[in-house]
A and B are shown apart, each in its own frame.
Chain A
Amino acid sequence: MEAVQYLGESLWPGKLGHILLLLSFVSSILAFVAFAKATNGEVKQKLTWSGMGRAAFSVHVLTVILAIGLIFYIMLAQLYEYEYAWAHVSEELPLQYIFSAFWEGQQGSFLLWMFWHGILGMILVWRADRWHAPVLSVLSAVQVFLLSMVLGIYFTADFQLGVSPFGLLRDAENMADLPIFAQANYLEQIEGKGLNPLLQNYWMVIHPPTLFLGFAAVTIPFCYAVAGLWKKEYKAWLPAVLPWGLFAAAILGTGIVMGGAWAYEALSFGGYWAWDPVENASLVPWLILIGAVHMNLVAKATGHSIKGTYIFYLLSFLFILYSTFLTRSGILGDSSVHAFTDMGLEWQLIAFMATFLVAGLWQYVRHRKQILSPPKEEELTSREFWLFIGSLILLFSGGIIIFSTSLPVFNQLIDVWGGIVGKDLSDWHRATPEDVMSHYNKFQIWIALLIGLLSGTSLFLRYKESRWADRRNKILRQLGIALIISLPLTYVVNMWIQATSFPYHALLFGAVFAIVINFSYLATVLRWKTRAASSTIAHIGFGVMILGILASGLKKNYISSNPFAMQGLFEAGDDRVNKNVYLIKGKPMFMNDYLVTYLSDTLVGNNRSYRVEFAKMKEGADEVEDQFEVEPYITYNTEMTEMVNPNPDTKRYLHRDIFSHITSVPLEVQSTELAKQFEDSLKYQQIALMPGQQMTLNGQQIGLAAINMQPTHKEYAPEDNDLAFGLELQVWDSVDAPVVLKPMLVVRDGYYIFSYHDQSNEHHLRIKLDQESLDAVFPQESLLEYQPFSGKQGDIFEVADKVIRIAGFDREPESPSYVKQEGDIAVAARLEVMTKSGQPLGVVKPIFLIRDNHTYLIKDYQPTVGLSAKFTAIHPDTESFDLLLADATGAQRPIPMLVAQDVPRTDFLVLETIEFPGINLFWLGCVMMMGGLAMGMVQRAKHTS
């Protein structure tokens, strides 16, 4: 095939981008080598190498930033010739989500990660202390690997290094063969896919950068650890790394909690933590990092646990890489709801992990023997011993979590092994447990209990304790007092939380004890000096967080569980609850002390929001104790053709949250396609009624009250040239009260017919009009016999059984069939029609129109009057008028209409409402923990410099 010359493509940003990334890649290699030389080389050359390294690293960071800027340009300019722009933005994407669109994709998030490495690295470049060369050398090596993920260089057709964010759409996999790319002007025809609406949320703006700053921050202690081994200064790195460790722990922790807040607030997971593999994958490095920081404190103060500090910092970084592998390789596809889409980078990610695993461990093993510990072991009564134990427990916690999280990896390894031995070993595959939450919780309860007990107690102990005998009584007294306060306090708190099993009682005690004993430390030892209280605050935060988890988890209560709903399908004794309740608009429903009413729904922009009122009733009385409204909503796509996702709404109190989430809405509002399917599934039958007539249809009475020539309908927006009519029907049966239904039909521009149905949900009945009803309401001209009449104002004629009087004229006539234009001469005759006995039937107004020297007759027909009239001529000399009148009573027939019975309701809402007591304790605890870590970082950083 001949190469197509494409039109309108802007290719320079892509070429420039490739060059920038390549330059960045090369400069990161240069920085790695130069800093390595600056670490190892001869003294006088060190300075030169370091200068080169810093220059190379600066170029690397600058090119990364420029490349990111270029991607933003491509996305903002909507250059859909680039796959990245096409896949992540669209015309409709609000500008504030351009960042979210950037890091939605793998390449963008890799670049974000590199960006943060670059920023942190530049701090080291700028400070240029004695650690900068080896630390930046390792950091540059990490950047080399990360950059390789976005290079997009093909070595052979099958082997590719990374996927470039500057790739063209027409070169993308599965795309090249599409017929559209045979057209030179394909760009004019395509539009972007845009950002997944689930991600169009402010959390998506702030959560990823925080999390990736956390990831990047974990790299720095790893670099220091390798640097310490490399320079054989096994102790000197300990104070330098500590602020970085605390910084990483605070930021990564904040990132994780933000993820939880996002899940809780905006998504429909019904909680802040689900032990999802993606969540676990970033929690595990954090747990190990917290262990590392404690080991770091011990090592710095006593010289014990130096090896532990190395191993923990190494592991926390390696688990970040492992988490990257899990979330980006596509391996979690079966077990997680929110991993990245697979990009075929699996082997590159494995190489990344393997390189740093081997390099890190090799460095450690090589130097292990030279790392000396103090000759005397830690005393059982020393702080260093218990901090060491605490850190091990955290590692343990991470190990158990990652074991269950790694099942998909194990399954794949089993398959690899099966391939080697030539057997199908898929029987060995294991899947996540049936009850994921309790699987993880049952182990972590005991770990949290131990941490709770240790977190305060260890503060009373001293490093290198040598006067234990003197202090023993004092410490034991402190512990005793804390115990005496904690036990009854636990009992009191449990009256609120109502834990029912021993493990939860124990954990509750652990949390209360942690809070009490840390307060006691704050009061008696620190004497309320908050400057030194960073660890105490973090530890109290831990206790508070556990209280929040217990309260919101154990007391989590489905308000929307309806006790009257059907039981029995699912086993008795099953603790599964019915979480959803079915609400009918305007009908209050009583559930779990609340009277809940779905009040209304309104469409604003792309959102349909549902107002739901909750009234809490006083026990045993008919009185409202508390009343509030929530407004969960569903979001439609930009074309308004289908619903994209539901969004919850939460009523917040200080002591609890009430979270409401839409789980189902009528098919009619879900999408136009489902609405059509729904309409098509209804079984309509035709009936016909004369005005004033009624009939019985399967036990339901239907009566036609009137024909309305000025109909209204909630979905009908009148336009000029609309010819519309509607019916007023009454529907009733022996059960439900009568309702009035008003279906209508519109003929627009004399060509399009729109039918607006009306429905009674009480009667499960829907009525609509069609073409036949139109023909019946407006009799065909050929069936009418017009008679000519001539006369003046006040004259009276008789047509069949009707008496007609020319009542007057209208020089500004108004009619649905007439649209006024400049220069029109229009006159309407006002004809009053009555029966022979003088009973008025109504008025008809035919119009005589002169427009552009042509005359037009606009006939008027009123079905309720039964007369059709045309105004044919004006004779100014005699002041008389010619009319054509036809009696249409004979032509009137019953109005046919289509009736569907047993129609499912369309005015309902299925709602899930959960009460989370004490959830603010969880957030408070998290904030205190991260705040404590951040305070610690600031103090240690001051101390170091």
Chain B
Amino acid sequence: MRIKKIHIVALIMAVVGVVMLLSASKDLSTYATFGEAQKVGKAVKVVGVLAKDLPMVYNPEEDPNLFTFHMRDQDGVAKRVLLNEAKPQDFELSEQIVVTGRLKGGDFVASSILLKCPSKYKDQELATRNDI
């Protein structure tokens, strides 16, 4: 079979594609618990819930860009999480929290946060007129 241009193009595409996907997968972070995050040292995603019994601080007068709270991971380990943002709205309502970041000196420094809120609009509760 004669080698056609299309074959060369396909070969180049394939090579570039593999290189790109390999490079892309290197970026990806992994899920971890706080315990594992300690070992890994690099950025990980930790899934957990808000520890409502432990302090949660947002004092904009002091620093509008610091919100700290405690999160309990899936092993039940609670850590203080530092977030370089204002306190997200409806934070207390979150059912689940996913934070991305790394452990530093006992605290988890988060670069981003994703809240899973069934939110007040989606819950399976009937608002009755009597309630109001």
Using Cβ atoms and an 8 Å threshold, which residues of chain B touch A578?
64-65, 84
**Which B20-56 residues sit within 8 Å CB-CB of chain A?**
20-21, 24-25, 27-31, 43, 45, 47
Size of the A side of the interface (Cβ < 8 Å), in residues, is: 61
**A580 interface contact, C-beta 8 A:** yes
Can you name 20 A-B residue pairings with CB atoms under 8 Å?
A173-B124, A190-B128, A190-B129, A334-B47, A337-B114, A389-B9, A407-B28, A430-B25, A431-B100, A434-B112, A565-B63, A566-B63, A569-B82, A570-B82, A570-B109, A578-B84, A580-B60, A645-B89, A904-B61, A908-B60
A-B contact count (CB 8 A): 135
Q: In the bound complex, what is the Cα–Cα distance between A592 and B29 (angstroms)?
A: 35
Q: In the bound complex, what is the Cα–Cα distance between A912 and B88 (angstroms)?
A: 13
Whether the pair B128, A191 counts as a contact (CB closer than 8 A) is yes
Whether the pair B109, A663 counts as a contact (CB closer than 8 A) is no
Using Cβ atoms and an 8 Å threshold, which residues of chain B touch A579?
65, 85-86
Closest residue on chain A to residue B92 by CB atoms:
A674
Q: In the bound complex, what is the Cα–Cα distance between A249 and B24 (angstroms)?
A: 28
Whether the pair A396, B128 counts as a contact (CB closer than 8 A) is no
Q: Closest approach, in angstroms, between the C-beta of B104 and any C-beta of chain A?
A: 8
Q: In the bound complex, what is the Cα–Cα distance between A904 and B71 (angstroms)?
A: 26
**A443 interface contact, C-beta 8 A:** yes
**Which A622-665 residues sit within 8 Å CB-CB of chain B?**
639, 643, 645-646, 663-664
Q: In the bound complex, what is the Cα–Cα distance between A433 and B44 (angstroms)?
A: 9
Whether the pair A565, B65 counts as a contact (CB closer than 8 A) is yes
A191-B45 contact in complex given A337-B114, A396-B13, A570-B109, C-beta closer than 8 Å: no
Whether the pair A580, B85 counts as a contact (CB closer than 8 A) is yes
Whether the pair B127, A580 counts as a contact (CB closer than 8 A) is no
Residue in A175, A639, A664 whose beta carbon sits within 8 Å of that of B124 in the complex: A175
Using Cβ atoms and an 8 Å threshold, which residues of chain B touch A403?
21, 24
Whether the pair B45, A431 counts as a contact (CB closer than 8 A) is yes
Whether the pair A335, B129 counts as a contact (CB closer than 8 A) is no
**A680 interface contact, C-beta 8 A:** no
Whether the pair B86, A429 counts as a contact (CB closer than 8 A) is no
Closest residue on chain B to residue A645 by CB atoms:
B89
**A830 interface contact, C-beta 8 A:** no
Using Cβ atoms and an 8 Å threshold, which residues of chain A touch B130?
189
The contact string, 1 if C-beta is below 8 Å from chain B, for chain A 899-934, is 000001100101010000000000000000000000
Using Cβ atoms and an 8 Å threshold, which residues of chain A touch B30?
429-431
Size of the B side of the interface (Cβ < 8 Å), in residues, is: 52
Q: In the bound complex, what is the Cα–Cα distance between A396 and B6 (angstroms)?
A: 15
Using Cβ atoms and an 8 Å threshold, which residues of chain B touch A672?
none
Using Cβ atoms and an 8 Å threshold, which residues of chain B touch A664?
58, 60, 64, 86-87
For the complex of A and B, the 6 pairs showing the least CB-CB separation, nearest first, are A663-B86, A433-B27, A578-B65, A434-B43, A582-B64, A580-B64
Closest residue on chain A to residue B116 by CB atoms:
A333
Q: Closest approach, in angstroms, between the C-beta of B89 and any C-beta of chain A?
A: 7
Q: Closest approach, in angstroms, between the C-beta of A144 and any C-beta of chain B?
A: 30
Residue in A175, A396, A646 whose beta carbon sits within 8 Å of that of B17 in the complex: A396
The secondary structure that dominates the B interface is mixed
The contact string, 1 if C-beta is below 8 Å from chain B, for chain A 511-534, is 000000000000000000000000
**A460 interface contact, C-beta 8 A:** no
Whether the pair A432, B28 counts as a contact (CB closer than 8 A) is yes
Among B30, B47, B61, B129, the one with the most A-chain Cβ atoms within 10 Å of its Cβ is B61
The contact string, 1 if C-beta is below 8 Å from chain B, for chain A 562-585, is 000110011100001011111000
**Which B111-132 residues sit within 8 Å CB-CB of chain A?**
111-112, 114, 116, 119, 121-122, 124, 126-130, 132
A334-B116 contact in complex given A191-B128, A434-B100, C-beta closer than 8 Å: yes
Q: In the bound complex, what is the Cα–Cα distance between A426 and B33 (angstroms)?
A: 12
Using Cβ atoms and an 8 Å threshold, which residues of chain B touch A576?
84, 111
Closest residue on chain B to residue A761 by CB atoms:
B61
**Which A411-443 residues sit within 8 Å CB-CB of chain B?**
426, 429-435, 439, 443
Q: Closest approach, in angstroms, between the C-beta of A534 and any C-beta of chain B?
A: 28
Using Cβ atoms and an 8 Å threshold, which residues of chain A touch B13?
392, 396
Using Cβ atoms and an 8 Å threshold, which residues of chain A touch B4?
377
Q: In the bound complex, what is the Cα–Cα distance between A294 and B114 (angstroms)?
A: 39
Given A196-B121, A582-B64, A910-B64, 11 additional A-B pairs, CB 8 A: A189-B128, A337-B114, A403-B24, A431-B28, A431-B45, A443-B24, A565-B64, A565-B65, A569-B84, A571-B104, A643-B89
A377-B116 contact in complex given A439-B24, A570-B84, C-beta closer than 8 Å: no
Whether the pair B132, A400 counts as a contact (CB closer than 8 A) is no
Using Cβ atoms and an 8 Å threshold, which residues of chain A touch B116?
333-334
Q: In the bound complex, what is the Cα–Cα distance between A190 and B114 (angstroms)?
A: 33
**A404 interface contact, C-beta 8 A:** yes
A400-B21 contact in complex given A433-B28, A439-B27, A645-B89, C-beta closer than 8 Å: yes
Q: In the bound complex, what is the Cα–Cα distance between A341 and B122 (angstroms)?
A: 8
Using Cβ atoms and an 8 Å threshold, which residues of chain A touch B58?
664
Using Cβ atoms and an 8 Å threshold, which residues of chain A touch B132?
639
Whether the pair A905, B61 counts as a contact (CB closer than 8 A) is yes
Whether the pair B5, A380 counts as a contact (CB closer than 8 A) is yes
Whether the pair A910, B127 counts as a contact (CB closer than 8 A) is no
Q: In the bound complex, what is the Cα–Cα distance between A433 and B59 (angstroms)?
A: 30
**B66 interface contact, C-beta 8 A:** yes
**Which A149-173 residues sit within 8 Å CB-CB of chain B?**
173
Whether the pair A910, B86 counts as a contact (CB closer than 8 A) is yes
Using Cβ atoms and an 8 Å threshold, which residues of chain A touch B86?
579-580, 663-664, 910, 912
Whether the pair B66, A193 counts as a contact (CB closer than 8 A) is no
Using Cβ atoms and an 8 Å threshold, which residues of chain A touch B63?
565-566
Q: In the bound complex, what is the Cα–Cα distance between A447 and B60 (angstroms)?
A: 43
Using Cβ atoms and an 8 Å threshold, which residues of chain A touch B31?
426, 429, 431
Whether the pair B87, A566 counts as a contact (CB closer than 8 A) is no
Q: In the bound complex, what is the Cα–Cα distance between A257 and B55 (angstroms)?
A: 42
Q: In the bound complex, what is the Cα–Cα distance between A426 and B30 (angstroms)?
A: 10
Whether the pair B122, A377 counts as a contact (CB closer than 8 A) is no
Whether the pair B114, A378 counts as a contact (CB closer than 8 A) is no
Using Cβ atoms and an 8 Å threshold, which residues of chain A touch B98?
334
**A602 interface contact, C-beta 8 A:** no
Using Cβ atoms and an 8 Å threshold, which residues of chain B touch A49?
none
Q: Closest approach, in angstroms, between the C-beta of B91 and any C-beta of chain A?
A: 11
Whether the pair B124, A404 counts as a contact (CB closer than 8 A) is no
Using Cβ atoms and an 8 Å threshold, which residues of chain B touch A312?
none
Among B47, B66, B89, B124, the one with the most A-chain Cβ atoms within 10 Å of its Cβ is B89
**A178 interface contact, C-beta 8 A:** yes
A378-B21 contact in complex given A337-B114, A431-B29, A579-B65, C-beta closer than 8 Å: no
Among A180, A333, A433, the one with the most B-chain Cβ atoms within 10 Å of its Cβ is A433
**A782 interface contact, C-beta 8 A:** no
Closest residue on chain B to residue A334 by CB atoms:
B98
**Which A889-907 residues sit within 8 Å CB-CB of chain B?**
904-905
